[in-house]
Amino acid sequence: MEDAARFIEDAVEEIYQAVGDRQALIALSGGVDSSVSAALTHRAIGDQLTPVYVDTGLMRQGETEQIRETFGHMDDLRIIDAREAFLDALTGVIDPERKRQVIGEQFIRTFESVASEIDAEVLVQGTIYPDRIESEGNIKSHHNVGGLPDVIDFETIVEPVRELYKDQVRDVARELGLSDEIAERMPFPGPGLAVRVIGEVTEEKLAVARGATAIVEDELEAYEPWQAFAAVLAKGTGVKGDNRIHGWVVAIRSVESRDGMTAQAQQLDWQTLQMIQSRITGEIDGVARVVYDVTHKPPATIEYE
Ligand code: XMP
């Protein structure tokens, strides 16, 4: 981005004007978009902003700790443990779009209670430009774009980074002094690991997806993928010791992209792939095999659901 400092100045002024003396609420996801939106808004209105992090149980490894580290200085930070509620609501849900709806509804419920508690009239969202395009085209329902405002009665929605692409948001993050870990963080879908486990969401599958994704992120750091993760596909047969096992099939995805609208599967060398395979099958219980996804977008999407 050409002039991130200038963008920040303008955005802070715009937020200040838009919010006035009202209370505002933002949902943090741990990602760069909501982190930047929160940091900008906090600069503009300070303690009138209540950042809320909902621990859905669908998040990446270490996410809750990272949120505490980054936003712990904001007095009003709220961390809500909603893991049980989300998992209960997802029981028996198989259809991908239904999963998104269920997750969106749970978010709304959690939000409503905080919003009414603090009398928030303004909702701040980390929507970026490609989110709006995909939602308008209805490629997938992005719950963080379509869901909340329709249902909860906020007077005003503020989207400080709505005109930016991901790489521009990262520039702003660095300019704001957010940690590299956040500025460089790969995109993560609103519905979280739920769209990275095919079929019903269970604690067991989530644990496999979470652990395997941490390994993938670790092993692929040098490749600087735009997005890389592991997904849990199904069960297949394998051998452990003298026994045949029926274990998880884990898919690795690593893509290059500018904005997520199209993407190219990354070319990884065999040694790297083998290292990922051996770590995932060795370190995570119940995994029988690991496959690498070579499909570009299109025809595949980046996420599995
Ligand atoms: P797909 O899978 O549609 O993903 O190729 C494109 C980019 O969007 C992210 N993604 C989502 N982000 N809510 C979000 O906030 C969602 O429901 C959602 N679905 C996909 C995905 O991680 C990728 O970066």
Look up residue 220 and give its two tokens.
């692929």
Could you tell which of 134, 141, 302 is best to mutate to test the pocket of ligand 1, judged by most ligand atoms within 8 Å of the CB? 302
Q: Is 303 in the pocket of ligand 1 (CB under 6 A)?
A: yes
CA-nearest residue for atom 19, ligand 1, is: 189
Could you tell which of 142, 159, 188 is best to mutate to test the pocket of ligand 1, judged by most ligand atoms within 8 Å of the CB? 142
Question: pTM here?
Answer: 0.88
Q: Domain 4-183: give its CATH code.
A: 3.40.50.620
pLDDT value for 154: 87
Q: Is 187 in the pocket of ligand 1 (CB under 6 A)?
A: yes
**What is the domain partition of the chain in residue ranges?**
4-183, 202-292
Q: Is 30 in the pocket of ligand 1 (CB under 6 A)?
A: no
Of 215, 217, 226, the residue nearest 266 (C-alpha) = 226
What residues contact 278, with CB distance under 8 A and at least 6 apart? none
Tokens 């609103």: give the residue: 190
pLDDT tens-digit profile, the chain (305 residues): 889 999 999 999 999 999 999 999 999 988 999 999 999 999 999 999 999 999 999 999 999 999 999 999 998 999 999 999 999 999 999 999 999 999 999 988 888 888 889 889 999 999 999 888 766 655 554 545 445 556 667 899 999 999 999 899 999 999 999 999 899 989 899 899 999 999 999 999 999 999 999 999 999 999 999 999 999 999 999 998 899 999 999 999 999 998 888 999 999 999 999 999 999 999 999 999 999 999 999 999 999 99
Q: Counting atoms of ligand 1 from 1, which one is nearest the CA of 297?
A: 5
CA 268 vs CA 187, 222, 251, 253, 261: distances in Å: 20, 11, 14, 11, 22
**124 near 160, Cβ under 8 Å?**
yes
- The enclosing H or E element of 40 equals helix 32-45
* 202-292 is a CATH 3.30.300.10 domain: yes
Q: Is 144 in the pocket of ligand 1 (CB under 6 A)?
A: yes
Q: Is 190 in the pocket of ligand 1 (CB under 6 A)?
A: yes
Q: Is 191 in the pocket of ligand 1 (CB under 6 A)?
A: yes
Separation between Cα atoms, residue 105 and residue 243, nearest integer Å: 43
Say if strands 49-55 and 264-265 run parallel, antiparallel, or are unpaired: unpaired
Dist. CA 285 → ligand 1 center (Å) = 28
Q: Name the β-bridge partners of 238.
A: 245
